[in-house]
Structure 1
Amino acid sequence: MAVAEGTETNGTGANGTEETPVQYEPVGTICDVRSLYQTKPDENDETSWSKEMPTDLPEPAEDAESAQYVLLVRKKKCYDGRKSLQIHSIVIQSEPLKKFLGKALGNYPGVTTSLERLEFEAPFKPIVHRWEDITKAREVEEDPTTKAHVDLFYKIMSEELKEVIDRMKDLVANGVIAFDLVWCIMEPEDVVISSRGGSLRAYQFSSLNSTQCGWEASVNYVEFDGTDFGFQSTEFAIDTFTGTVPITSLPLFPLKHLKDQEAIHAMLIARGKRWEEHKGYHYKAYEGPAMSRTMDERTGKEKETKYFVKSRVIIDAEGYNIFHPSTSVFTSIEIGKGLESDEQRLFATPWLHGYSLKDKEWLMFHLEMTKDIEWDDDAFKSLVLPQEQEHLKDVILAVAKAQSKKLDAFDDVVQGKGRGIIMQLSGPPGVGKTLTAESVAEVMKVPLYVMSAGDLGMNADSVENSLKNILRMVPKWGAVLLLDEADVFMETRAATDLARNELVSIFLRMLEYYEGILFLTTNRAENIDPAFESRIHLSLHYKDLDSKSRRHIWAQFLGRSAKTDTFTDEQLDQVAEVALNGRQIKNVIKTAGLLAWAQDGNLKYEHIRTVLALRDLPK
């Protein structure tokens, strides 16, 4: 076997000459163990390792002799001025006592009483939490051996825990708690309540850890990740306080300390059932607080931003994860496709993940603020077009409905291309182009996603990424897509404007693979790039409103206005002669309504005339 030359020598020989170096075996080849021993701390409280065994080793405390006893009680010095020693930990060695504690402690999380070595450490949380159960079980124990072992255990624990248990009982009886005993009322897997975020909700308590500022409580709740339900964890801080405070004033406290706990328990389960029903995709009306979660680049932690949302929203946790990946929804322990018990529904979060169509933001919405949409069944009827174009309304609606129900199975030669329906609406402002798309979506009872050039930006990469997400997102919801004032993406390309040419090319390419319903509105149809002609399925040009159309719009808007006096036919005829578009008519009525409100009266013809005069328009 090869050997390695070491740096040590055998010293100096009798004749004064150095002996040959010690020869060592190759690294890791001797089949044996070399023990090293930690040295005592030096003046800097640092330790090292030595080959020499310490000479002051204590005798092992646990051996065959100590194994004879029912209990091993480890004690340490106490410096609180009330006693010299306190129990550090206790080891249960009696099998009858282990079986007794197995029944008395029940399924206390984290405790397995059948272990060969069953040990509890101060502050003995399982024993404190289940002291009443232990006491009752002791009173009815009939086996003499078990009874003797239990009595011994009970005597020792009573002496050690008497002060804590008596204080806890006194505090709880008065509905209050001291900071140092908060852990006494927090039992693992307890139902705990918090109103953080302004909404009462339940959590499953997990653990309580001491921090520099107080306690940090870890809890679990049920979340939906777009595919499965599962548990997610969060933390609550309980800051240090002096004296006592009401238990129900803590940021987190057990449900059993509420007087109306049964009613709250039932309410939370019912809410959990409603929340469970929102899995998948849902289109709702929403008015109330919402939250946005983003990643703080400085701290690397999530931060919450509060919003007030009044919009139609799309509840879609799967979409939230796809299009808002920085704070995606995840679960640590999956439950499955549905909640199987009321206990799981009790811990359900009241927040839903989705998208606000008005705010164009992925947000969290509170379940209680979501409502069914009140559809305007007359929306399409209220769309006013010149008489010779009225029949086009039926054409638009028929094509949109057919596409929505996938009645057209036609596909392009290249699979996936040309499967959408693109309708171009052109004409001057205020003649009903945008209202057409809005009305179609309302009648079909599907979302309307409105975007403009400003939403997409003017940078080629930004436009492509935004379009890619939108054109993927909208068909998923079965929504109608409206690109309002799309001229910048549709105008004829020119050799002198390479940047805009790139935008047009990107837009054309993305449209090839769009599978939904798209409305494009433009005020300059004559400038559209020829390449769009092959991609547009239906092209409609809206004319300026005539007096008959304007009269119809005046009548509709006035009919919808609250506190409005009746207008005569003559008055309607007169205002219809003013050359306004639909948007301008709406603005005049709104301004006149504010004028009427300031004068504490109903909207009258005189208010309309006043506003028209201010616009300096011909009468």
Structure 2
Amino acid sequence: MRTRCSRKRAASYDEVIESDDSSNNSNIEEDKNGDTSNKKPKHYAPTGSICEVHNLYQTKPDENGRTSWTKKVPSNLTSPAENSESGQYALVVRNVKCYDGRRNLRLFSIVIQSDNLKQFLAGVFDGYPGLTMTLERVEFKPPFKPFVHRWEAFCTSREKVTDPTTRAHVDLLYRILEEELRDVISRKRDLILNGVITHDLLWTIFEPGQVVFAVRAGYERAFSFSSGEHHCQSGEFRVNARCVDWDGERFGFRPSNFAIPEFGGTLPIASLPVFPLGYHGQEEAVRKRLVERGALWEAHKGYHYKQYEGVSIGSFMGQEIKFNIKGRVIIDTEAFNTFNPDESVGVSSPLCKALDDDKRLLATPMVRGYSLKDKKWLEFYLDGVRDIVWDSRAFDSLVLPQGQQNLKQLILAFAKAQSKQLDVFDDVVQGKGRGIIMQLSGPPGVGKTLTAESVAEVMKVPLYVLSAGDLGTTASHVEDAMKDILRMVPKWGAVLLLDEADVFMEARNSTDLARNELVSIFLRLLEYYEGILFLTTNRADHIDPAFESRIHVSVRYPDLDTAARRQIWTQFLGTTPGFSSEQLESMAAVPLNGRQIKNVLKTAHLLAREQESELTYEHVGVVLNLRASNAPTNGVQNGVH
């Protein structure tokens, strides 16, 4: 049965229900003397069942400034001032009492009601953020910032109006504003004419949407001004602006904030920490430089493998830290956000995939990525990014053991096939066993690490080097670290080198459960790795048998013989003159590994530089004899005679 909503029925309830203005929730009805002894219950309709509006009104504040609510209509209400009568006028000007001693009334707001005037102002304020002149009600309030910012355009457009009605409405508004803004406009003109500004009038030169200029960390920057205001407590003028940035998927805006400290008198506009670009003495040159840099920055979206030298920005416990970086980096904002979520980059108001010059002008000079040497996610300055100069002879100069030289081509073929995904073979379980794993074993300094480095160099891909120290030795830490790395490295097409992997590959036993868990986790992760992995170990005889089925190529490096050492000496010396064949034979006879040979030559170069001479056989001999004199007594270390 449908319920009829009638005013008559509601009125009958009002006759039954009575209460005073206080919030009395009692359901007991009193008699005239306040006696509740009869205890007559009040009768209420079900909650929400009466189809009427029950109005409540705010009371006057009490002595503590607190208010409540009552059913009584306030007695001092006045009729609304804006009605059909006021709607006839082009402008409605609201005034309030003024107590500054100079005038009785001051403007509170101006309401624009004339359609002709709205159309005129739409042209004046074209592109001015936050104004929509097609609204039915358009209201401006002091200090009338849009008119101060566009006063010249307002006056110029006023002179061009030909329609009599529009001109009359514009003149009406002009007379009101000219009287209100006369002092501010006059002061602003005088200050700008002299290239200076006072702190209290800073707001007059900052127009929303305007390009502003600042130097941050020594780099010229351009921003789009959003808003500015004077801070009451500090007295500084705070500027909110935006720059163009890249979040790994799209271009957009990121906020930037500035503060202009309070100052007395006047300051040159161009000396402010941030100021409109139009006041820069070399505006066109600055624009050209920033647009060119923005175009270069735009080209670095996505993934790039580069060389970097300079200062970079990182974070530790929420604090910005600077690092001096010299080495190869991977520029990849998407990976930066994925694997470094605490410092992720976000943008708002997405832009088109291709920027125009106006947006390139506002582009940040920063790119984000990963420093391979330092193993840190960092922000890099674009001017420190360079193309990598590849060593095309790196793989050719790799010295492998006698009888295994053909393995160089096999290793390179495996790596290239995996890189180009030529090997389409997959395991029975999809995604399993798709990587290429190569084990390099042998004593230190015989070329294990150099093999991985040479493969990466000739393939022109990143080399990501890991050690047990980077991963930890507990199963949970290793699993968490390896999961990210095994996702990240194939994404970049990089070569992964796990140096000194013995701790993860040692044979399992029945007593060391923690070690068994570590090895088991490492085995499982290797099954699903899809990239190129080099494992180096000094203890190949002690690895778990389960690794044998997962390793595609295994190379065992013996100690270097005389021929291998001579080849290494020759390669390190390069075109250095002054070394005869007999001297090379003498140096090669000293039982050193490749790393030791490199260190000897480095020390000899320092000695030669100190003596301000070219590197000679005698310098090398001094270092080798010094090594021989400090050699352990239980070993034999020959010097050069």
Shorter-chain TM-score above 0.5: yes
Q: Contact 2:435–2:528 at 8 Å: present in 1 too?
A: yes
Q: CA deviation at 1:81?
A: 5.1
Structure 1: runs of 5 or more not aligned? 297-302
1:396-421 per-residue CA deviation (whole Å, 9 max, x = no partner) reads 11221122122211111111111111
Instruction: Indicate which of 587, 599, 610 corresponds to 1:575.
Output: 587
Distance 1:603 1:507 in 2: 47
Aligned residue number for residue 498 of structure 1:
513
How do 1:200-211 residues align onto structure 2 when only pairs under 5 Å count? 200-211=220-231
Distance 1:484 1:513 in 2: 20
Q: How many residues in Structure 1 have an aligned counterpart in Structure 2?
A: 609
Distance 2:172 2:88 in 1: 15
Distance 2:313 2:37 in 1: 85
Q: Percent identity?
A: 59
Distance 1:191 1:531 in 2: 64
Q: TM-score, normalised by structure 2?
A: 0.90
Distance 1:198 1:570 in 2: 55
Distance 2:224 2:77 in 1: 47
Cα distance change on mapping 1:294 and 1:83 into 2, 3 Å: farther
Distance 2:436 2:88 in 1: 85
Tell me the secondary structure at the aligned position of residue 24 of structure 1.
Answer: coil
Q: CA deviation at 1:224?
A: 1.8
1:520 maps to a residue whose letter is L
Q: Contact 2:244–2:359 at 8 Å: present in 1 too?
A: yes
Tell me the secondary structure at the aligned position of residue 389 of structure 1.
Answer: coil
Aligned residue number for residue 530 of structure 2:
515
Distance 2:132 2:407 in 1: 76
2:526 maps to a residue whose letter is L
Aligned residue number for residue 413 of structure 1:
428
1:348-376 per-residue CA deviation (whole Å, 9 max, x = no partner) reads 22211211111111111122211110001
How do 1:69-468 residues align onto structure 2 when only pairs under 5 Å count? 69-80=89-100, 82-211=102-231, 212-213=233-234, 214-293=236-315, 296=318, 303-336=319-352, 338-468=353-483
Distance 1:505 1:221 in 2: 49
Q: Contact 1:222–1:232 at 8 Å: present in 2 too?
A: yes
Q: Contact 1:193–1:200 at 8 Å: present in 2 too?
A: yes
Q: CA deviation at 1:21?
A: 4.2
Tell me the secondary structure at the aligned position of residue 497 of structure 2.
Answer: strand
Cα distance change on mapping 1:18 and 1:483 into 2, 3 Å: same
Q: CA deviation at 1:254?
A: 1.4
Tell me the secondary structure at the aligned position of residue 398 of structure 1.
Answer: helix
Q: Relative to structure 2, which stretch is displaced further, 376-385 or 15-24?
A: 15-24
Q: Relative to structure 2, which stretch is displaced further, 216-225 or 496-505?
A: 216-225
Instruction: Indicate which of 608, 612, 616 corresponds to 1:596.
Output: 608
Cα distance change on mapping 1:13 and 1:289 into 2, 3 Å: closer
Distance 2:404 2:143 in 1: 83
Cα distance change on mapping 1:529 and 1:14 into 2, 3 Å: closer
Q: CA deviation at 1:244?
A: 2.3
Q: CA deviation at 1:340?
A: 4.2
Q: Contact 2:30–2:36 at 8 Å: present in 1 too?
A: no
Aligned residue number for residue 9 of structure 1:
29
Distance 1:205 1:339 in 2: 22
Tell me the secondary structure at the aligned position of residue 23 of structure 1.
Answer: coil
Q: Contact 1:6–1:21 at 8 Å: present in 2 too?
A: no
Q: CA deviation at 1:223?
A: 2.0
Does 2:551 correspond to 1:529? no
How do 1:53-72 residues align onto structure 2 when only pairs under 5 Å count? 53-72=73-92
Aligned residue number for residue 5 of structure 2:
none
Distance 1:13 1:192 in 2: 76
Tell me the secondary structure at the aligned position of residue 480 of structure 2.
Answer: helix
Distance 1:386 1:13 in 2: 116
1:188-212 per-residue CA deviation (whole Å, 9 max, x = no partner) reads 1111222223321222221223433
Q: CA deviation at 1:53?
A: 2.5
1:209-252 per-residue CA deviation (whole Å, 9 max, x = no partner) reads 34333233222222222222222323223333332222233332
Tell me the secondary structure at the aligned position of residue 350 of structure 2.
Answer: strand
Q: Contact 2:29–2:36 at 8 Å: present in 1 too?
A: no
Distance 2:488 2:404 in 1: 33
Q: CA deviation at 1:305?
A: 2.3
Distance 1:245 1:277 in 2: 39
Distance 2:194 2:392 in 1: 59
Tell me the secondary structure at the aligned position of residue 388 of structure 1.
Answer: coil
Q: Contact 1:11–1:19 at 8 Å: present in 2 too?
A: no
Q: Contact 1:386–1:545 at 8 Å: present in 2 too?
A: yes
1:91 maps to a residue whose letter is V
Instruction: Indicate which of 571, 578, 595 corresponds to 1:566.
Output: 578
1:334 maps to a residue whose letter is P
1:519 maps to a residue whose letter is F
Q: CA deviation at 1:430?
A: 0.5
1:581 maps to a residue whose letter is N
Tell me the secondary structure at the aligned position of residue 197 of structure 2.
Answer: strand
Distance 1:474 1:153 in 2: 66
Q: CA deviation at 1:572?
A: 1.7
Q: CA deviation at 1:481?
A: 0.6
Distance 2:608 2:127 in 1: 71
Distance 1:618 1:73 in 2: 102
Aligned residue number for residue 299 of structure 1:
none
Structure 2: runs of 5 or more not aligned? 1-8, 18-24, 629-636
Cα distance change on mapping 1:16 and 1:497 into 2, 3 Å: closer
1:94 maps to a residue whose letter is S
| Aligned CA-pair RMSD | 2.3
1:333 maps to a residue whose letter is S
